[in-house]
Chains A and B, each alone.
Chain A
Amino acid sequence: GQNIDQPTEMTATEGAIVQINCTYQTSGFNGLFWYQQHAGEAPTFLSYNVLDGLEEKGRFSSFLSRSKGYSYLLLKELQMKDSASYLCAVIGTGGFKTIFGAGTRLFVKA
């Protein structure tokens, strides 16, 4: 079957670093996405990894290990506005269907 696992909730302090993990088992692999979703809003694209390694974009970085079926999203210099749900998503075989994890709710406290 296809499965994507990520922690349900995490709490971190403003200014700190937090790592959100994602493990996946899917039929085929054509890339992994991270999306951010604030409460009551639509998900917005954060990052895309298709090759192993680290992709850095400002305060956000995403890592992928295809052999381990593992990714993480790293958020640095946390801000209160980073409080949101973070969704890990994988494109499987055929590239037409993206499977989402249930999301990780991140709470940033002062």
Chain B
Amino acid sequence: KAGVTQTPRYLIKTRGQQVTLSCSPISGHRSVSWYQQTPGQGLQFLFEYFSETQRNKGNFPGRFSGRQFSNSRSEMNVSTLELGDSALYLCASTPEGAYGYTFGSGTRLTVV
């Protein structure tokens, strides 16, 4: 059974650019959550999607957005990148009716 797949693994972008990150959950998992991880802040919740609907959103500016497709794959987009957006972005999926995440390996974004 394949795990949670995130692409790309590493990304370097320039301030002001935008970026799109992709996450494919475990087959059958319809809930996908996104987190930003930085050394000082730990894991910060971005948003959670279930069946193409955003069910919950964290306290991030509107530059951070996401979506989920009918096959449960999810993307998150960050526009007008800032240096402070440099972080590890983790995606996690959960089976319906259960708690507990399976995380992907993450996308490490560096903004220069």
Q: Give A contacts to B, CB under 8 Å.
A: 30-31, 33, 35, 41-45, 48, 87, 89, 91, 94-103
CA distance A89 to B35 in the complex (A): 13
**Chain B interface, number of residues (Cβ within 8 angstroms):** 22
Q: Beyond the given A100-B45, A102-B42, could you list 14 further A-B residue pairs with CB under 8 A, ordered by the A residue number? A: A30-B99, A31-B99, A33-B99, A33-B100, A35-B101, A41-B105, A42-B104, A43-B43, A89-B43, A95-B99, A96-B31, A96-B48, A97-B56, A103-B43
Contact call B43/A42, Cβ cutoff below 8 A: no
Contacts of B33 in A (CB 8 A): 98
Instruction: Report 6 cross-chain contacts, Cβ distance below 8 Å, ordered by A residue.
Output: A42-B103, A42-B104, A89-B43, A96-B31, A96-B55, A98-B45
Is B106 engaged at the interface, CB distance under 8 Å to the other chain?
A: yes
Contact call B103/A97, Cβ cutoff below 8 A: no
Tell me whether A102 and B45 are in contact in the complex, defined as CB-CB below 8 angstroms, given that A41-B105, A42-B90, A43-B90 are known contacts: no
Contact call B105/A42, Cβ cutoff below 8 A: yes
Interface 0/1 of B17-41, CB less than 8 Å to A? 0000000000000010101000001
CA distance A88 to B103 in the complex (A): 15
Contact call A101/B42, Cβ cutoff below 8 A: yes
Contacts of A94 in B (CB 8 A): 55-56
CA distance A110 to B57 in the complex (A): 43
Contact call A91/B99, Cβ cutoff below 8 A: yes
Shortest C-beta distance, A106 to chain B (Å), equals: 15
Contacts of B50 in A (CB 8 A): 96
Contacts of A97 in B (CB 8 A): 45, 48, 56, 58
Contacts of B35 in A (CB 8 A): 100
Contact call A45/B42, Cβ cutoff below 8 A: no
Contact call A98/B42, Cβ cutoff below 8 A: no
Contacts of B56 in A (CB 8 A): 94, 96-97
Shortest C-beta distance, B9 to chain A (Å), equals: 11
Tell me whether A48 and B45 are in contact in the complex, defined as CB-CB below 8 angstroms, given that A42-B90, A42-B105 are known contacts: no
